[in-house]
Structure 1
Amino acid sequence: MVTYRTLAELEDAHDQERRTAQRRIESADHYLDLYRSRMFQLRETFYTLGAREGVADDPGFRKELQRVSDTADENVAHAGRRIGELEEEYSAMLREHDEQRDCVLAERGDTD
């Protein structure tokens, strides 16, 4: 653990870590939303194209469209789980920050 000269230095470092972690989570959420939206658009476009070409009801076409859809859904689920892990890590980091702050205050003899 890094030793900080003042409580303010520790709190500044914690603030920076929190902002960085929050940006990572927000960015992951944003990119997942973009991916989900793009995959929905692609499925709709492929189906429309298939309908226009008269193959939308073809079992081979439907099977491949379903395979692509399933893969996209699996990717979204995996990314959602990873975002959940990032949120858990963020919560653990907040608890650790509280403990570090409490230790610094205890060492200084502060009660706040």
Structure 2
Amino acid sequence: MVTYRSLGELEDAQDEERRAARLRIETAEEYIGHYRSRIDQVRETFHRLSANQGVVDDPGFRQELQRVSDTAGENVAYVRRRIDELEDEYDVMLREQDAQRENFLAERDDTD
């Protein structure tokens, strides 16, 4: 356990911890947005190419396109669950930081 010399030092460390956690969450959100965008572009390109080639109504093509779409949907759902877990962990961290701050203040008051 780290011992802080002042409330400001503790709060600075907690601020940095919160910033790092928020950055992880924001990065994951950006990733999922980029992934969705790229998958949509690929799907549109495949559909356009298949229309040009006359296979857009081919059952095999449609089945494969659906499989790719389903896999992409599963990937997005998985990342969304992970982001939700990161958000939950962030909330727990905030509660722990509040408790840590209160303990620091109580200990400081006890030594005064």
Is 2:60 aligned against 1:71? no
Q: Separation in 1 of the partners of 2:108 and 2:14?
A: 19
Name the TM-score, length of structure 2 as normaliser.
0.96
Q: Secondary structure at the match of 1:4?
A: coil
Matches within 5 A, 1:36-55: 36-55=36-55
Report the CA distance between 1:87 and its aligned residue: 0.4
Name the TM-score, length of structure 1 as normaliser.
0.96
Question: Structure 1 unaligned runs (5+)?
Answer: none
Q: Separation in 2 of the partners of 1:101 and 1:95?
A: 10
Cα offsets for 1:27-61 (capped at 9, x unmatched): 10001100001001100110110011000000000
Q: CA RMSD in A?
A: 0.9
Number of the residue aligned with 2:109: 109
Q: Secondary structure at the match of 1:109?
A: helix
Q: Separation in 1 of the partners of 2:41 and 2:77?
A: 18
Q: Which has the higher contact order (CA 8 A, sep 6+)?
A: 2
Matches within 5 A, 1:11-50: 11-50=11-50
Question: Structure 2 unaligned runs (5+)?
Answer: none
Q: Separation in 2 of the partners of 1:23 and 1:62?
A: 39
Report the CA distance between 1:2 and its aligned residue: 1.2
